[in-house]
Amino acid sequence: MAEELKVNEADGGKLASYIERIERLEEERKELGADVREIFAEAKGNGFDTKVMRQILRLRKMSPADRAEAEFLRDSYKKLLGITE
């Protein structure tokens, strides 16, 4: 037999509050995404390569050790494939 969910009015108010907070944050995230796209478009208009900018952003999020490991692996893979600079 399924256990019945016991809900009172206070629980309904809490739930509504959580849902509304999440909805507000999702809307803010959407607006921030639009702002970021505008900045990339501005950078592109000024001659910057946005693909490279995104790579730099990813690198900046990494710890120095993780970044060094990723660069080592990339260089090792390039060497294995005969890609020279």
Backbone angles phi, psi at 82, to 5 degrees: 75, 25
Question: Any residues with CB less than 8 A from the CB of 50 and at least 6 apart, and which?
Answer: 40, 43, 44
> Residue 81 pLDDT > 80, yes or no?
yes
Residue 85 lies in a domain: no
Residue 17 lies in a domain: yes
Residue 32 lies in a domain: yes
Rounded mean pLDDT, 57-85: 94
Q: What is the pLDDT of residues 9-61, one digit of tens each?
A: 778 889 999 999 999 999 999 999 999 999 999 999 999 999 999 999 999 99
pTM above 0.75, yes or no: no
- Domain membership of residue 66 as a residue range: 9-80
Closest residue by Cα to residue 70 from 60, 59, 61: 59
Residue 29 lies in a domain: yes
Rounded mean pLDDT, 2-11: 66
Number of domains in the chain: 1
- Give me the DSSP letters along 1-66: -PPPP---HHHHHHHHHHHHHHHHHHHHHHHHHHHHHHHHHHHHHTT--HHHHHHHHHHHHS-HHH
Residue 1 lies in a domain: no
